[in-house]
Structure 1
Amino acid sequence: MTTMPRLPLTLATMALALPGCGGPKTLALPTDPVEQAATCGVVAAAEARVGQPPAEIAKPLPLPAQGHILHYALLAGTAAEPFSRDRVAAVVARMPQIGDQVTKGKWQTLVPACAAAYPQAVQTAPVTLPANPLDAQLSCYTLAAFLDKALSAQGNSYVAEFARYDAMRRNLDQRIGAKLAAKGKSSAESQADERSERLGAAAKLGPPAKVMDACLAQYG
């Protein structure tokens, strides 16, 4: 099973790169699923930094902005069935590799293209959790675990938020385990498959920070 990736600190604190001679180049959104999602993640990071004073650029972005960046990786994982953790990891790894290349170009022109390619990432409607209790609980649990792991390189930047996420996960542990066992999914492998599937489903519910707000309202 692929280990969930960490968002590199270099991307989380990325400043906008200065264009080279001749001005910024026109960019096109790649068609390759990994390249496309990674590009949109970098665009999201750049957009979140616009207007920030120099002292703030060295600091990690707020959690909703970090979740927005990571959302593109999660959505790439849902591009084909079954949900692919390998693809998620590939996108997260690729983002810092293309950061300068994208931000030295006319990245602003890619904002609408990314919104069209990934409508869930810019969803403004309220998040509705699945009606099935196990589906809802697993969606919340797996998304919280993913964010915790992915942002662990950011040190203590999100202590308050993750304290609430961890408390929610502890509260759900036994309930989820009992429900999975009742479905005949008592082996580690079968439970891992179920959790992976629900992480992909959670990505489609809307922006991660909004999904987690709905989760905390229901189970926090």
Structure 2
Amino acid sequence: MSFAIAPAAVPSLSIQGQPERFPVHRIFCVGRNYAAHAREMGKDPDRDPPFFFMKPANAAVDASTPTTIPYPPKTTNFHHEIELVVAIGKGGRDIAQDRAYEHVFGYAVGLDMTRRDLQLEARDKGRPWEFGKSFSQSAPIGAITPATSHEPVSHGAIRVSVNGAARQSSDVGLLIWSVEECIAYLSQYEALEPGDLIMTGTPEGVNAVVRGDVMHGEIDGLSAITVTVEA
């Protein structure tokens, strides 16, 4: 097959303990999946059906080693959101909740970086969130820990610090919609495919970073990430 222009490179992430890389296909993000974060965003944390937005594949940044991301244009309120990331290794539609883990390749620590001012402006006008959420290099993600070498992630401390000061701190066990529920629900609307990522939502404590800030994100049992905002 020939192309009129050179095709874009496939974004990929490191895999813990393996030389192969994980090709990123699509990035699905769960909105407001921790009750305390829903409250800080001015919303009631009722257990309504989950909702999703997407980031482009080139939002993914391999943060398996300390890395730097740019401060994006058109914002003065650039926020960090620490999240558990689920990497899908086996596709499927209408996946049963009790079989959801069969589709998981592994887990990673990620940051959903957000132009908060643009997101809230769009939200208040009833417009899509793309300019606030869906931009390149907005999802630094650490090395993926294969599911075969890790128990299903249903609990564990999740936290991020900025310049050494604690910002977000919670537990994955406080997800409103669990990993398996998110997979099962999403697969009713869109067939999941190998290479998809699901960012499962962020706890309370989101806040702004400025140029030069250093974020350190952790989830118990997974590879930590250190991400600097370009000075």
Normalised to the residue count of structure 2, the TM-score between the two structures is 0.26
Kindly indicate which of the two structures has a greater share of residues assigned to strand. Answer: 2
Normalised to the residue count of structure 1, the TM-score between the two structures is 0.27
Larger Rg: 1
